[in-house]
Structure 1
Amino acid sequence: MKFNKQIAIILVLLSMLLSAIAVSYYFYDKNKQVLASQNQLVTIYVAKDNIKKDTLITDQHIKQTSIARQYILTKPLLKKEILNKYAKETIYKNEAFLKEKLSIKIVKVIEKKTIDYKYNSYNMSYKLFKNPNYSLEPNDIIKIISVYPDNSGEETNQFSVQYVAKNIRLLGFLNSGRLTEKSIIKKKIKKVVKKKQVEEIIELRSEEIILDIKEEVLISLINDYNKGKQLWMVKSKFEEEKEELEVEEKEEVKEKKTLIKKKIVKRKYIPRTYPIKWYQPKTSVSTKTATISYSDNSDLVQTKKAKISSNYKEECSKKDKLLLVTSNKVYIRKHPSIRSKIHKKIYKNYILPYTNISKINTSWYMLCDGSYIRKSDVKEINYDEYIKLRK
C-alpha cells in the first residue's frame, strides 16, 4: 500500500483540532464551576446595630445575611464563634464580625496619659458651639464668645456680644470617652452593602474638647450661655493679660500720688493701727415714677414721683453671720468681680455682716447691703469672737 503524505497531514491536523476542542471544553467547564462557586450565596453574621466596646455579644446584637462567596474578604465566623464574646472595640452597624475584634474577656487598657493644665481642666461639648472647629490641635489658643439676640421685640439677625473669654488653651479631645490628640480620627471598617462585603474608611469626630480655663471665666460663660444659648470659638494668639490685682494697685498708686500732692505723707514711717469697727452701709436714694390712666377717660392721666431710700440698718445689725477684714485695705464691689465698680473702701478689723457666699462666683461673699467682698480678704467669725476683739 502506497503511503499518502497529504492524508497523513490532514489526520495530524484533525487530531490537533480535536485536542484543542477538548482542552477548551475542559477549561470552559472548570471556569463554569468556578463562577458557580463564586456566585454561591454564603451565610454570614453582621452587627444589627452599633456595638460599643466591652459589650457582651448575644443573639440580640447579631443578624444573619447572605452574600456571594466572591465578595467575602475574610473567613466568616460561625455563630458559636461570635456569641458570648466581648467586643474589643466598637463594631458598627452591618459590619461583619472579625476574630480580631472579639475577646473572651474584657480587655482593660490602662492609659498613662496625663493632662498638664494650669487653671482647671474642663470638658465642653462641641454641640455647644455654633461654629465647631475640627482643625484645632492641642496647645492651640482660642477665644470663646457668648452672644445673644437683641431683645428689641422685632425679628432680627443682629446679636450682641455678652462676654469674650481670651487665652483659653486647648488640652486635647475626647472621642468615645478616650483622650485623643486629634479632633478627627479615620478608621477602616468592613461592612456589608447590597450583599457585598466592602471596606470603608469612616471619620470619627470628637464629641468634646478639653480646655484649660479659669473658674471665674467658666462661670461667666455658663451664665451667658443660658441667656442666648450661643457660643462661638475663634482660634487666636496668646494675648498678654494684666493681673487682676493690677487694677487695685493702680488705684493705690493714684491715691498715694494724691497724698503726696497734698503733703499728707510723712517722711517718718509710723505703723498704722486698725480699730475694730462695725460696717455701716451707705443709704441710697432713688426716684420712682408712677403713671395712672383711666379706662373711661383716655385724656385723664396722673403722674406721681416718689423717692425711695434703701435702709439696710436691720440687715447690717444681724449677729449670726460675721466677717473680719484681714487685709489692710479692701475695696467692696457692686458685683462679684475685680473689674466691678467700687462700692466702698474699708480697712483691716472691720466687722461685716453677710448673707451668703455668692452663687455666681464662690470666691466672693455677699454683704448685708447687697455689695460684695473677696473671700481672700476676710475670715468668718462669730459674735463672741467679736466681743473678745473689742476688749
Structure 2
Amino acid sequence: MALAHLAGEGRGGPWWRAAKELGGAPALLAAGEERLRAAGLSERGARSLARFSDWRRIEAQRDRCRRLGISIFPISHPQYPRLLREIADPPLVLYARGDLSVCRATVVAVVGTRRPTRYGLRTASLLGRELSAAGVVVASGLARGIDAAVHHALVPGGRGVAVLAGGLDRVSPRSNRRLAARLLEGGALLSEHPPGTAPLPGRFPVRNRIITGLAAATVVVEAAERSGSLVSARHAVEQGREVLAVPGNIDSPASQGTNRLIRDGCAPMLEIADVLAACNIPACAQTAAPAAATTVHATGEAARVAAELDREGRSVDALIEATGISGGRMLELLTELEIGGVAERLPGGLFALKDGVRLG
C-alpha cells in the first residue's frame, strides 16, 4: 500500500519491476536511495521511498477497508489476476469487494459510449447474455450506457467484474448502485484506489487500462470519434490483447470510432462466435440459442401502427404520416401498444417494436 501511494495511479510499472529486481516489496522498502535508483526508480521516486514514514496513514487505510468489508490484494498476492500483472503499468494494489477469484476464468471486457443508440444497447445486452451463458466473466466500468447494459444482461448465475475510477465506497453513478450490488452476488468490484477516493474525471481513462488488462479480449460496442472507449482499445492493443469492434451505420456518430477501428485493422465483431474464438473458447462452449420471439396480434388501427414500427424507433410525426391517423388517436394507440407489450418508448420521443416481439 505504501508503494502504491508513492507511485501514484497508472505508474506502478517501474516500482513493480524494481521490487522484482530486489527480491520483493519488503526488500524495496528497506533499500537505500542509491540501490533504488540502480533498480530503476527515478531519483524523485527513490528519495520519496527511502524517506517514507507515514505508516499511520497506511494503517488507517487498512482499518477503513476492514470496516467496509474491502479486501486488499498487493500485486505479489497469489490471487492477484495473472493477466493484469503482465501489463506494463499494473496497479500495485487492488482493492476488492466480492470474489476476485472469478478473474481466473476467461474475462472479456465490453466497453462503449455512455450515450448509446438502441442498436448499441441491443448489442451490449446480447454480449452480456451470451458471454455469461458461455461461462465468460464480463468486465466493464459500471458507467451509464453500454457498461450498465452489458452487466444488466448477465444470465442468472452469470459473473461480472466492474472496475471503478474511485474508491469502492464511492460507486458512480449513484443510479448504478443496485447493479453494483448484483455484481457482488457472483463477481467483484475492483479499484486501485483506497476507500474515500473520489471518482474524478481524470481517473477514468487511467482506470481503463485495468479493465482491458484483466481481459483476454476487449469488445468496443459503440464509440464516437473521440471517446474514452477508444482509450480502452488503445490500452488493449498496447497490452497485446485482442480487440474487436462492433460495426455500425456510417452516418451514426455513435459508430464513428468503432468503424474507424475496423478500418485501421481491428477485427469486426459480427457474432458472439467471433469473441469466443478470440479467447480460444471452443465452439462446444458457445451459448444456447436465444429464446424464440413472442408472437403478438394487434387488430384494427393498432395493427396499422404496429406494422410501421421497427427496432430503431420512429417518431410520432412519422407514424402519423405513414398511417394517416390523427395525432390524438395516435398517442392513444401507442399507449395501448405499450401496455400490450408490443411497443416501447425510447429517448427522444421515439417508439419502437419491443425486443423479442414478432407481429402475428
Asked if these proteins are the same fold (TM beyond 0.5), I'd say no
Of structures 1 and 2, the larger Rg is shown by: 1
The structure with the largest helix share of the pair is 2
**TM-score interval, smaller chain:** under 0.3
Q: TM-score, normalised by structure 2?
A: 0.21
| RCO higher in structure (CA 8 A, sep ≥6) | 2
